[in-house]
Amino acid sequence: MFSLVLHSHLPWLANHGRWPVGEEWLYQSWAASYLPLTEMLTRLASEGRHNLLSLGITPVLGAQLDDPHSLAGMHHWLGNWQLRAHESTDRALAIRVHRAAASALDTFETQWRHGGSAVVRRLVDAGTIELLGGPLAHPFTPLLDPRLRQFSLAEGLSDAQTRWGTRPNGLWAPECAYTPGMEVEYDAAGVTHFMVDGPALRGDTTVGRPVRDSDVVAFGRDLQVSYRVWSPKSGYPGHSAYRDFHTYDHATGLKSSRVTGRNVDSADKAPYDPELASAAIDRHVVDFVDAIRKRLRAESARAGRPALVVAAFDTELFGHWWFEGPVWLERVLRALPEAGIDVGTLDDARSRGYVGSPVELEDSSWGSGKDWRVWAGDAVEDLVALNAEVVAAALDTVDKSRDNASIPGQPELRNRINDQMLRETLMAVASDWAFMVSKDTAAGYARERAHVHAHALREIADAVNQGHDAAATRLAAQWNRADGLFPALDARRLPSGRR
């Protein structure tokens, strides 16, 4: 059996800059990945195809796809994309981009204009996909205080229930990160299975494995298959016929070149040829399907039982980073059954018995070194310290606030100040900031974002601790207007700090 898993995630970008890092990142991914992916899945669903893949959508991305500001910005961006096509002096490029923008505008206006929830819900209800959940704001959970970790997960699953009408029992933990004990928290939250990287299972990813003494199953990414598509050093998107991601026309922002060669300067790149790219897609579909078939046969023979292969990727690879990715993906999903390969979701794999013996899973992630260095290494020592300070301040302040407001025999009332302190804390400790710093991709932006949310938390907490209730209320409301996501977050559900 083959399972495809996609992880869709971007940090909260609305109202936090536009270019070169900020909302532009969201709109590019939306146009290039989320629109074509859901269109493709809708087409396959209309043909009666079910359980095609497991799709993870983080709560923070789901919030942006429903956010009124982001929806208006996306509509404007698509219109501007079409206008940029008209400014191109390359007629063939202008025609291609105009048609793509017009199609995207039509899809957005008819399917997405009031938010992404309805689009995703239809795919879930049709049984086309399995939806994977995740914790609010995408924190690096092994380094998070267990109380806040449990709270973030429970709120994230509840957010999915509200947004998509289903509470996921499968999970893509941020960065596939794990530390012993999290399986107990998963079990308590109703999570039955989650993703880890292949090396966490010591390379044997042919079945899911119950973790330690729990019934929660860990599925591992098969690197041998996944790396054919994308790895730290190679993969299909680097083929010479595909559109080059980094080369673009500075007057219009449009991309008109193909990769041509790894060591070819941008000025010397050959023009993009759609027919040449389509032929390369077909060859890579054949190669991928053949690789899966060989891997399934070899692993089934080695293990003496039917094997499972799980390939997992960031959704944004398909379209945003690799222009031809959505087309390749649709052709693969059509070709696999034709080649006699059984396709299903992770939940299918679990329910159909692709589960082996328990594993003593250890600290792991899918980052560099498969450990925690990206999120806890020397390069981000300052962010690790900041996160610890922010979390401690938030929990201490919220605990004292709840204790002071407690009246024996009376229900606890909702406190919007406490809600906002936890909201800002989770935004401050998002795993994206450490990743961007460690990888030196817009590190300044990442540090600024972490400190903005840390400042918001400190400002509100200081007012609370000084007894300035009116100021705390005003500050909480102002910061909430700045980032109005997760309105259902409720601090009353934070596990008690009392021993």
Q: Over the stretch 312-324, which tens digit does the pLDDT of each residue have?
A: 999 999 999 999 9
Is-catalytic flag, 330?
Answer: no
Is-catalytic flag, 314?
Answer: yes
pLDDT tens digit string along 65-120? 999 999 999 999 999 999 999 999 999 999 999 999 999 999 999 999 999 999 99
The CATH fold assigned to 377-493 is immunoglobulin/albumin-binding domain-like (1.20.1430)
Same fold, 2-369 and 377-493: no
Q: Which of 185, 204, 314, 342 is catalytic?
A: 314
Question: Around 334, how many Cα atoms within 13 Å sit in the side-chain half-sphere?
Answer: 14
What does the alpha-carbon distance between residue 153 and residue 13 come to, in Å, rounded to a whole number? Answer: 21
Q: Which of 67, 145, 175, 424 is catalytic?
A: 175
The CATH fold assigned to 2-369 is 7-stranded beta/alpha barrel (3.20.110)
The residue extents of the domains of the chain are: 2-369, 377-493
* pLDDT at residue 499, rounded to an integer: 45
- Label residue 232 by pLDDT band (50, 70, 90): confident
How far from 51 is each of 66, 127, 207, 337, CA to CA, in Å? 25, 6, 18, 12
* pLDDT at residue 234, rounded to an integer: 87
Q: Among candidates 127, 116, 205, 132, which has minimal Cα distance to 167?
A: 132
Q: Which two structure tokens, joined as six digits, stand for 72? A: 């208006």
- Cβ neighbors of 370 (< 8 A, separation 6 or more) are 197, 199, 200, 364
In terms of pTM, does the model score above 0.85? yes
